[in-house]
Amino acid sequence: MTKNKIIVALDVATKKEALDLVDQLGEQISFFKVGLQLYTAEGPEIVRAIRAAGANVFLDLKLHDIPNTVANAVRSAAELAVQMLTFHLCGGEEMIRAAVSAKPRELSLLGVTVLTSVDEQTLRKIGIPDKIDDHVLRLAKLGAETGVDGLVASPHELKMLRAQFGTKIKLVVPGVRPTWSEAGDQKRVMTPREAFDAGADYLVIGRPIIAQPRPREALAQILAEIGA
């Protein structure tokens, strides 16, 4: 069902705000993202609270460190019973293998390719001469070859990645904006319907829902757009 493929990003500052959203939206969806802002503010307890409320958690920490540190972080995330965890594929093969070896079967490890806020000018400034598609594909192949369960990429790379990997790997997509929402700091975006049509398995949507005065209505509108 489409509603089980939407992950609402709890990009808020406090446990109370996060759990209020889980309470409001829990009948419509079952998956919530905990990112750096909320995890830094509230720590592992916020994950435990969301899980206790019966929801699934996508822990979006984008780990990037030496292999041993990343492996230990994966083990800690597994103890929190999260369903998904992210790390940066640019950490390299040794780091990826360490992360994969540390995860239990029930945890999906997702490799981040290129952030949706990045464009080719950004890549040039950090010394990467490739086009974004080429850089995304190189990192995606490295992740697939070393055993990641899924990839995080912008919706603009979906068709390329689906053509390369078929259904062997999950594609989790941020940078999704409904027709009535502004792109904000995202530079490579699509509407939810376009992203699903291009091959996304899961959509991560934050501000178009949580920044609205009535989050339930915003989410319902997005679900209606997808199903139209």
Which are the catalytic amino acids?
62
Residues in the chain, total: 228
H or E stretch at 67: helix 67-79
On whether the CB atoms of residues 31 and 202 are closer than 8 A, the answer is yes
Buried b (16+ CB within 10 A) or exposed e, 163-187: eebeeebbbbbbbbbbeebeeeebb
On whether the CB atoms of residues 118 and 153 are closer than 8 A, the answer is no
**Hey, what are 85's tokens?**
């965890």
Q: Is 1 exposed, middle or buried (0-12, 13-18, 19+ CB in 10 A)?
A: exposed
At residue 82, φ and ψ (nearest 5 deg) are -80, 160
Cβ atoms < 10 Å from Cβ of 56: 17
